[in-house]
Amino acid sequence: MDERARRASGGRDKSRRPSATGAASLDPAIGETLVPADELQGRVRDLAGEISRDYQGRDLVLIGVLKGAVLFLGDLMRYLEVPCEIDFMAVSSYGSETDSSGVVRILKDLDASIEGRDAVIVEDIIDSGLTLQYLLRSLRARNPASLEVCALLTKPERRRVDLPIRYVGFEIPNRFVIGYGLDYGQRYRNLDYVAVLENRGG
Ligand code: IMP
Ligand code: MG
């Protein structure tokens, strides 16, 4: 069953694991599907394969950026074939609802030190890049053995700073997207696919 048929059926496809997607798909704010669930899973599995090859015999700690990276991190770590630890940071970026200012506040810091360890920041989406720029500065100052970035999505058209992003899931056009961790007003994070937000502000 393809994604459209599955959504039209209210998500009642017994071959897929249960999710809240069915009921939520009736919401008119959920627009065109940009990345269907099976494509997400396939790409996340590939990224985990790359990371597993690159981090063999190393001391990997995945740093999930709350809250958007929760689903991505959860799936990514399941597919990894190397040992890893996870830790989380929560940051809030000052600015309007749609544009971050680059002034970032740490709401929750890491539980443990990353000094001498191989850290990978796991982010949902890189938009202007300002939030990530701040995170990279803050984490580099803690002297990890290495520091890389793994982002599920990037919007290259929106980039304001050039940053080294080692692992990228999908490049997407300049649209506001929801699902698979990404929210609008804290909702829609539980969709198992990425969709365009419809009629924002209209
Ligand atoms: P940046 O500092 O402009 O790169 O903003 C990055 C943060 O803005 C991401 O971690 C998301 O939390 C949020 N964000 C940017 N674009 C989107 C989007 O299309 N949907 C949902 N959140 C987004
Ligand atoms: Mg985020």
pLDDT in tens, 61-75: 999 999 999 999 999
Contacts of residue 53, defined as CB under 8 A and 6 or more positions apart, other chains included, come to: none
CA of 113 to the centre of ligand 2 (A): 22
Tell me whether residue 174 is in a domain. yes
64 lines ligand 1 (CB under 6 A): no
Closest ligand 1 atom to Cα of 175: 19
Write 102-105 long-range contacts (CB < 8 A, 24+).
102/128, 102/130, 102/131, 102/133, 102/134, 104/130, 104/131, 104/134, 104/135
pLDDT in tens, 39-69: 999 999 999 999 999 999 999 999 999 999 9
**Domain count across the chain:** 1
The CATH number assigned to the domain holding 134 equals: 3.40.50.2020
Tell me whether residue 5 is in a domain. no
pLDDT at residue 32 is higher than 50: yes
Tell me whether residue 202 is in a domain. no
CA of 100 to the centre of ligand 1 (A): 8
130 lines ligand 1 (CB under 6 A): yes
Tell me whether residue 137 is in a domain. yes
182 lines ligand 1 (CB under 6 A): yes
Please report, for residues 30, 89, 113, 189, 193, the alpha-carbon distance to residue 132 in angstroms, rounded to integers and kept in the order given: 27, 12, 19, 20, 23
Please report, for residues 110, 140, 166, 170, the alpha-carbon distance to residue 47 in angstroms, rounded to integers and kept in the order given: 23, 23, 10, 11
Ligand 1 pocket test, pick from 73, 88, 124 with the greatest ligand atom count within 8 Å of Cβ, gives 124
Tell me whether residue 180 is in a domain. yes
pLDDT in tens, 92-136: 877 666 677 778 899 999 999 999 999 999 999 999 999 999 999
Tell me whether residue 15 is in a domain. no
Tell me whether residue 11 is in a domain. no
> Please, are residues 154 and 122 in contact by the beta-carbon 8 Å criterion?
no
According to the model, what pLDDT value does residue 26 have?
77
Residue of 136, 156, 152 whose CA lies nearest to 144: 136
Tell me whether residue 71 is in a domain. yes
Query: In this prediction, what percent of the chain has a pLDDT beyond 70?
Result: 84
Closest ligand 1 atom to Cα of 133: 2
Torsion sign over Cα 46, 170, 40, 98: positive
According to the model, what pLDDT value does residue 83 have?
98
Q: How confident is the model at residue 13 (pLDDT cuts 50, 70, 90)?
A: very low
191 lines ligand 1 (CB under 6 A): no
CB burial of residue 54 (10 Å; 0-12, 13-18, 19+): middle
Domain that holds residue 72: 32-196
Structure tokens at 185: 């007003």
pLDDT in tens, 162-189: 999 999 999 999 999 999 999 999 999 9
Which strand (E) or helix (H) includes residue 75?
A: helix 70-79
pLDDT in tens, 124-165: 999 999 999 999 999 999 999 999 999 999 999 999 999 999
